[in-house]
Amino acid sequence: MRRLLFLNGIKAFEAAARTGSFAAAGAELNVSAAAVSRMVHLLEERLGVALFERKANRLATTAAGRAYQSGLTPIFDALASLTAQVTAPSSVRVLTIGVGPTFAMKWLIPRLADFRKSEPDIDVRITTGGVAVPFGEDWSCGIKLGDGEWPGLIAEPLFAADLLPVCAPRLAGALKRPTDLKGPTLRIRPTIGRHGSRPPARPASPPAGRNSSFTARRCRPPSTASASPWASAPISTTTSRPAGWSRHLR
């Protein structure tokens, strides 16, 4: 027998953890921020576990909260996708793609407009996927980074994942040749692929939250070459990784 605790509270928590605030979660759920906070508090009391660290200027999930949200979001995505499929007209063809959020935002979503122009009768739906997420029963296919050796799945290579050196803008002037990279401590961010787009050189300000999931390893500021999304790319040299981006399906 299933033991489901306080579904309204679970919805409120997942939305708040995903959006990063009670206000944004309230706007999504059509309730007030105070109502979201109250439902999350009741959920925490029923679970006996703190899900958020409530600080003065921000809302941060605890370790338990991060684990809970990472499992809940794919479940809600799958539920929404399943509901849409059940209620969709039978004449509509549905393509459900499981993909990580960074790849979806940086590569897939910007290309959907052109796809819809060429295939207007196909309804494309994107659900949470990526390396750590198992293949969903409702997926048409998935896209992830790896060697393509995934038991039970057929992998079709799309393109390579190239490595590109980037650094803080203040260090860019001293880096002219690949040999200049021997000095700074590096962390590497692969580009989406040869057919993808590199990040903008210098956005006005760094985005809020954690660094891109493409960051391979952290470095020690401030005397390091950095792979943060607002960095410059002073050297055009790239190199391919053994793993690449592949479409996978059953």
Classify the phi-psi angles of 195: left when phi > 0, otherwise alpha if psi is within -120 to 50, otherwise beta.
alpha
Q: Which of 8-17, 61-70, 182-191 has the lowest mean pLDDT?
A: 182-191
Strands (E), the chain: 52-54, 59-61, 93-99, 122-128, 141-146, 154-164, 189-190, 239-249
The answer, yes or no, to whether residue 170 has pLDDT greater than 80, is no
pLDDT at 79: 85
Q: How many CA atoms lie within 13 A of 229 on its CB side?
A: 17
With beta carbons less than 8 A apart as the criterion, state whether 57 and 86 touch: no
CATH topology for 7-72 is Arc Repressor Mutant, subunit A (1.10.10)
Question: 75-133, pLDDT tens digit by residue?
Answer: 888 888 788 777 766 666 888 888 888 888 888 888 888 988 888 888 888 887 776 77
Q: What is the predicted pLDDT for the residue at 230?
A: 47
Is the bond preceding residue 222 a cis peptide, omega within 30 degrees?
yes
- Could you give the dihedral angle defined by the CA atoms of residues 58, 62, 68 and 69, in that order, rounded to the nearest 10 degrees? 20
pLDDT digits (tens, 9 = 90+) for 17-62: 999 899 999 999 999 999 999 999 999 999 999 999 987 777 899 9
> Distance between CA atoms of 150 and 138, rounded to whole angstroms?
18
Q: Which residue did the predictor score with more confidence, 76 or 168?
A: 76
pLDDT at 134 over 90: no
Q: Work out the mean pLDDT of the chain and round it to a whole number.
A: 74
Check residues 156 and 26 and name the one with the higher pLDDT: 26
Which CATH code, of 3.60.150.10, 1.10.10.10, 3.40.190.10, 3.60.15.10, is assigned to 83-159? 3.40.190.10
**What pLDDT sits at residue 196?**
44
How many angstroms separate the CA atoms of 101 and 129, rounded?
8
The DSSP bridge partners found for residue 239 are: 163
Number of neighbours of residue 52 by Cβ within 10 angstroms: 19
Would you list the domain boundaries of the chain?
A: 7-72, 83-159
DSSP at 23: H
Q: What band does 241 get if pLDDT is binned at 50, 70 and 90?
A: low
pTM given for the model = 0.44
- Give 97's strand partners: 126, 141
Residue 155 or residue 217, greater confidence: 155
Percent pLDDT > 70 in the chain is: 71
189 confidence band (pLDDT: 50, 70, 90) = low
* Packed helices 63-87 and 7-19: angle between N→C axes, nearest 10 degrees: 110
**How many Cα neighbours within 13 Å face the side chain of 165?**
21
What's the DSSP call for residue 121? T
Predicted pLDDT at 218: 27
Indicate whether 168 pLDDT > 80: no
Tell me: pLDDT of 223 over 90. no
Written in H, E and C, the secondary structure of 171-227 is HHCCCCCHHHHHCCECCCEECCCCCCCCCCCCCCCCCCCCCCCCCCCCCCCCCECCC
CA atoms within 13 A on the CB side of 45: 7
| Residues 76/16, Cβ–Cβ less than 8 Å | no
* Cβ neighbours of residue 189 closer than 8 Å, sequence gap 6 or more: 163, 164, 166, 212, 214, 215, 216, 227
Higher-pLDDT residue of 201, 55? 55
Label residue 216 by pLDDT band (50, 70, 90).
very low
